[in-house]
Amino acid sequence: MSELSELYQQVILDHNKKPRNFQKLEGANRVSEGFNPLCGDQLTVYMLMDEGVVRDLSFVGTGCAISKAAASMMTQAVKGKTREEAQTLFNEFHRMVLGELDEEAEPNHLGRLKIFAGVRDYPARVKCASLPWHTMHAALEGEEAATTENLGPDIAHAAVSE
């Protein structure tokens, strides 16, 4: 079991207090909702996808410090990435929090996201960190919304199953 300080690192606490990209994104063409019925965590991810690139990304919602910080740092990490790069990050993050990827030994693109590695020692909290990523992934996989402005974006729903 890692020390508590490895889970609640300053960076995580900072993102919890001042989440980045924490607003509804006007002009988003992908919207996805994530919900964890066990704890009531809920978030909506807004994505502007253009020619296979995530041009902009934001979220709103309620949740614990881990989920809020994970969502905040997810938006920073995925913004500007291609669909394939975002998919790779999703896979790597997912495997890291489940303890299937050794982020120090195996080559990866996680960078600052490695601070969430400690969550794998808290099985009850893994979903908190992965929910924003699942929600982003659902938006990524979602059908392109109609380009007509008065049609709303499609809403995809993320499932948390691990």
Q: Which residues of the chain form contacts with other proteins (CB under 8 A)? A: 1, 4, 7-8, 13, 38-41, 62-66, 122, 124-125, 128
Please, what is the minimum distance in Å from the beta carbon of residue 69 to other proteins? 10
Residue 41 region by backbone torsions, left for phi larger than 0, else alpha for psi between -120 and 50, else beta: beta
Q: Which is nearer to other proteins, 47 or 128 (CB)?
A: 128
DSSP string, 94-142: HHHHTT-S-TTTS--S-GGGGGGGGGGG-GGGHHHHHHHHHHHHHHHHS
Q: Which is nearer to other proteins, 13 or 159 (CB)?
A: 13
Q: Which is nearer to other proteins, 29 or 44 (CB)?
A: 44
Please, what is the minimum distance in Å from the beta carbon of residue 110 to other proteins? 22
Cα dihedral: 48, 30, 81, 98 (round 10): 150
Please, what is the minimum distance in Å from the beta carbon of residue 55 to other proteins? 31
Using CA atoms, how far apart are residues 51 and 87, in angstroms rounded to an integer?
15
Q: Could you tell me the two tokens for 35?
A: 């919900």
**What letter represents residue 113's amino acid?**
L
Q: Which is nearer to other proteins, 108 or 130 (CB)?
A: 130
Please, what is the minimum distance in Å from the beta carbon of residue 126 to other proteins? 12
